Amino acid sequence: MLGLMQSQPLLISSLVDHAEHHHGEGQIVSRRVEGDIHRYTWKDVAARARQVARALDGMNLMFSDRVATLAWNGYRHLELYFGVSGSGRVLHTINPRLHPDQIAWIANHAEDQVLCFDMTFLPLVQAIHARCPGIKAYVALCEPGKLPADSGIPNLLSYEAWMGAHPTTYDWPSFDENSASSMCYTSGTTGNPKAALYSHRSTILHAYAAALPDVMCLSARDSVLPVVPMFHVNAWGIPYSAALTGCKLVFPGPAMDGKSVYELLEEEKVTYAAGVPTVWQMLLGHMKPNNLRFSTLKRTVIGGSACPPAMINAFNDDYGVEVLHAWGMTEMSPLGTLCTLKNRHLNLPADEKMKIRLKQGRAIYGVDMKIVGDDGKELPWDGKAFGDLYVRGPWVVREYFKGEGGDPLVNGWFPTGDVATIDADGYMQITDRSKDVIKSGGEWISSIDVENIAMAHPAVQMAACIGMRHPKWDERPVIAVVKRPGAEVTRDELLKFYEGKTAKWQVPDDVVFVDAIPLGATGKMLKTRLREQLKDYKLPGT
Ligand code: AMP
């Protein structure tokens, strides 16, 4: 017997409809590429998203055709999120920090038909358009008066003229909720990138889950600043969850430096912010020397890379801001786990609570996870056994776009490429990317643990631990360190700092001071590149 409830497809257009009808006055504030602040409401987003949909119809774009963006976090990008997907096309957010060759490759692989871009990326578009014959129109996210006269880009339109020519009325089409809605290529440090192709259903389920109290805890009373880019896994789904909850959205545009982010947090009374550790590093680096405080910020979700304990401490102890450590990946829309305490942890001593907060957290309802040993057998949830982390769920990829890379699943589970422990309470902790794990004398050393200790030293701005070949132990850890400007620490002082904080054999053999740690397009440390940079390095005594 089937249930007798209504069946309505879960479609992204319903999110913006909801926001318009129930939170129409809710504000969207954006720092624009032009540098000024733009303000309007969810009502405006909805009206303009409908104009976008009409403009795409006017170009004769078919169902599922791809519309690409090269854009910062801002209101026009938000309109494209809803206008493109809501009208049945697929929004392809491209990471502008990728190499132009890779961007051209991605645009061709995705078969993008329209490319919308912020004017910051005009030189990038000029560099690639000749290699992207499939793109039939380029839309610059600006007023008509700002279009360059001689850009050399064919069919270049101004966004405002293009969509502004259409009425704000539009009936969103209804279709199968499993239809593709957006896509995002993985950063792929080896080989060509592969795309996760999200559906309306996966996006809406993820948006519901992301808003839950033990996840991002979003509400109509929040003012939310996603520093995490809208070109990286849909800004962790925040634009969708924001429409669902009606929270205020504050977009930083291209200005992600500590000073600009701090000003926006204060001026827009932001209660909740989300980003990768490197962004928060810049923010804290700006606040401390200037003796600044937060007046409204309560929570910040940090993910994308392991959050160093020193950062959790600084937010918590110095500024009274709760850090929520999150883990996920492009292939997971992206949220998998988030770290919040359980009721019975509340009275634990501070250092015990800290040990929990450092973990990547508990699985969100909708995500199943397991850890598996080298023999393929599932490992116990005891907080000690570590193995390859596998996930499954309705917002986890089943297959990459165009079947690239073959079937990624193993007995229905997606191998994340991360190595983790899970404790009896279900808290997962990443010890490494599987390719970054260091094996010394048959024992595994977690590079994240080694990095976290170095990061707690006041003179250290950033630290990356890699394994170096060793004739006796196979591999030994070495820590590459960027010093804080003006701060001093010697190799021996830093190695001494490890004493008592970890087992002796896990202390790195050496410290290499570097000017910068190479970062990938999403702000993650690129250890492959660091290894290349240090290819002539020799461990002391070898
Ligand atoms: P991406 O698909 O670019 O978002 O990268 C996903 C990968 O980032 C994961 O598989 C992890 O290796 C890493 N990652 C994400 N969040 C965290 C975290 N909180 N701690 C450690 N690694 C993380």
Predicted confidence (pLDDT) per residue in 296-331, tens digit:
999 999 998 888 889 999 999 999 999 999 999 999
Residue 334: CB within 6 Å of ligand 1? yes
pLDDT at 191: 64
Q: 79, 160, 268, 331: which one is catalytic? A: 331
- Its sign, for the CA torsion 307, 523, 272, 390, is negative
The contacts of residue 304 (CB under 8 Å, 6+ apart) are: 228, 232, 275, 276, 277, 522, 523, 524
CA distance linking residue 84 with residue 179, whole number of Å: 13
151, 534, 537 from 529: Cα distances, Å: 35, 9, 14
Tell me whether residue 42 is one of the annotated catalytic residues: no
Residue 429: CB within 6 Å of ligand 1? no
Burial state string for 283-297 with b = 16 or more CB within 10 A and e = fewer than 16: bbebbeeeebebeeb
Residue 525: CB within 6 Å of ligand 1? no
Q: Token digits for 34?
A: 């032009």
CA of 326 to the centre of ligand 1 (A): 9
pLDDT at 466: 92
Pocket test for ligand 1, best of 189, 302, 325, 329 (most atoms within 8 A of CB): 329
pLDDT at 409: 97
Q: Is 69 helix (H, G, I), strand (E, B) or coil?
A: strand
Q: Does residue 60 register a pLDDT over 60?
A: yes
pLDDT at 83: 98
Tell me whether residue 72 is one of the annotated catalytic residues: no
- Its sign, for the CA torsion 318, 322, 327, 329, is negative
Other beta carbons within 10 Å of 115: 27
Question: How close are the terminal C-alpha atoms of the chain, in Å?
Answer: 72
pLDDT at 541: 80
Q: For atom 23 of ligand 1, which residue has the closest CA?
A: 305
pLDDT digits (tens, 9 = 90+) for 144-179: 999 988 999 999 999 999 999 999 999 999 999 999
DSSP 439-495: EETTEEE-HHHHHHHHHTSTTEEEEEEEEEEETTTEEEEEEEEEEPTT----HHHHH
11, 18, 56, 84, 394 from 176: Cα distances, Å: 8, 19, 20, 16, 15
Q: 43, 189, 399, 444: which one is catalytic? A: 444
CA of 43 to the centre of ligand 1 (A): 35
CA of 328 to the centre of ligand 1 (A): 6
Tell me what the pLDDT averaged over the chain comes to.
94
Tell me whether residue 444 is one of the annotated catalytic residues: yes
70 in Cβ contact with 97 (< 8 Å): no
Instruction: Give the burial class of 230: count Cβ atoms within 10 A of its Cβ; 0-12 exposed, 13-18 middle, 19 or more buried.
Output: buried
Pick the closest to residue 358 from 217, 284, 446, 452 (CA basis). 452
Q: 69, 93, 186, 431: which one is catalytic? A: 186
Tell me whether residue 236 is one of the annotated catalytic residues: no
As beta bridge partners, residue 325 has 302
Q: Answer whether the bond into residue 334 is a cis peptide, omega within 30°.
A: yes
Residue 97: CB within 6 Å of ligand 1? no
CA of 137 to the centre of ligand 1 (A): 34
The percent of residues above 70 in pLDDT, for the chain, comes to: 99
Residue 452: CB within 6 Å of ligand 1? no
CA distance linking residue 485 with residue 515, whole number of Å: 10
Residue 304: CB within 6 Å of ligand 1? yes
Pick the closest to residue 524 from 423, 439, 440, 418 (CA basis). 418
CA of 334 to the centre of ligand 1 (A): 9
Q: 439, 496, 501, 538: which one is catalytic? A: 439
pLDDT digits (tens, 9 = 90+) for 463-481: 999 999 888 888 899 999 9
Lowest mean pLDDT among 172-181, 307-316, 374-383, 525-534: 525-534
Q: Token digits for 434?
A: 């599987």
Q: For atom 1 of ligand 1, which residue has the closest CA?
A: 329
As beta bridge partners, residue 410 has 413
Q: Is 293 helix (H, G, I), strand (E, B) or coil?
A: coil
pLDDT at 346: 96
Residue 330: CB within 6 Å of ligand 1? yes
Q: What is the CA radius of gyration of the chain?
A: 24
110 in Cβ contact with 135 (< 8 Å): no
CA of 304 to the centre of ligand 1 (A): 4
Residue 20: CB within 6 Å of ligand 1? no
pLDDT at 190: 54
**pTM score, whole prediction:** 0.90
Task: Show the beta-strand stretches assigned E in 311-426.
Answer: 322-328, 335-338, 361-363, 368-372, 386-392, 414-422
Pick the closest to residue 298 from 273, 325, 271, 265 (CA basis). 271
Residue 186: CB within 6 Å of ligand 1? yes
CA of 305 to the centre of ligand 1 (A): 5
Amino acid at position 532, single letter: E
pLDDT digits (tens, 9 = 90+) for 399-457: 999 999 899 999 999 999 999 999 999 999 999 887 787 888 777 888 888 999 999 99
Other beta carbons within 10 Å of 4: 5
Amino acid at position 39, single letter: R
pLDDT at 188: 56
